[in-house]
Amino acid sequence: MAKKLDQIIVVDVESTCWQGKPPAGQKSEIIEIGICPVDVASGQKLGKESIFVKPTRSTVSEFCTKLTSLTQEQVEKGIEFKDACSILEKKYFTKDRVWASYGDYDRRQFERQCQSRNIRYPYGPTHINVKNLFAVIYALPHEVGMAEAMDLLNLQLAGIHHRAGDDAWNIACILSKLLFQLRNKNSIQENQ
C-alpha cells in the first residue's frame, strides 16, 4: 500500500518522570498523547487531540505534576495504552502516514513501551525529527528546545508547555512554518 502523503501526524507524549531515578519497581510510561495533524498541501494544522493513558507500571510523581500539570487522578481516568495505539492507527492512519515529533524521545518511548507490552507499534517506518530538521535547516551548531525554536521563528507558544496536546500543536506550528518557508524559497528560485 502506498504511503499517504496528505498529512503529517505530529505527536507529543508526556510520560511519568521523577527527579532522579524512578522508585523501585516503577518504569517511565506514557500518560498523555498529543496529536495534531498537519495538511501537507496547505501547511494548516487540522486540530489537536489529547489522550490520557492510564499508567499501569508507575504513578505520577510530585515532580511530574510540577513539570506537566498532570495528576494521578487525571491519568487514572485515561484509557489503556493499547487502546490509545489503536486510536492512532484507526483515526489518524498512522501506519500509512508520515509522523513527526520534536526529537527522538517520543519515538523511542513508543518503541520501548510497545515492545515491553507486546503491543503492535502504531506507526509506519517514516518519522520526521522536527528538532533535528529545524537545526539543520537553520544551520544551528546544535539542536534547540521547542520553546527556543518557537522564539527563533517568532511564533507564540500556545497553551501549557509539557502538556502533550499543546506541545503537539506548537510542534505542528514549527513544522508548518518550515514547510511554508521551504516552499516559498523554492518558488522564488523557480521564478528567477
Mean pLDDT for the stretch of residues 91-100: 97
The span from the CA of 101 to the CA of 24, in Å, is 30
Query: What is the full DSSP assignment across 43-94?
Result: --B---EEEEB--SS----HHHHHHH---HHHHHTSB-HHHHHHHHHHHH-T
Q: What pTM value is reported for the model?
A: 0.93
Domains, the chain, in order of start with CATH, read 4-150+158-182 (3.30.420.10)
Confidence of residue 2 (pLDDT cuts 50, 70, 90): low
190 pLDDT more than 70: no
- Give 53-66 pLDDT, tens digit per residue: 999 999 999 999 99
- Give 97-142 pLDDT, tens digit per residue: 999 999 999 999 999 999 999 999 999 999 999 999 999 999 999 9
The side-by-side arrangement of strands in the sheet containing 30-39 is 49-52, 30-39, 4-15, 97-101, 127-129
pLDDT > 70 in the chain, percent:
95
- In the block, residue with C-alpha cell 520534536: 102
Confidence of residue 3 (pLDDT cuts 50, 70, 90): confident
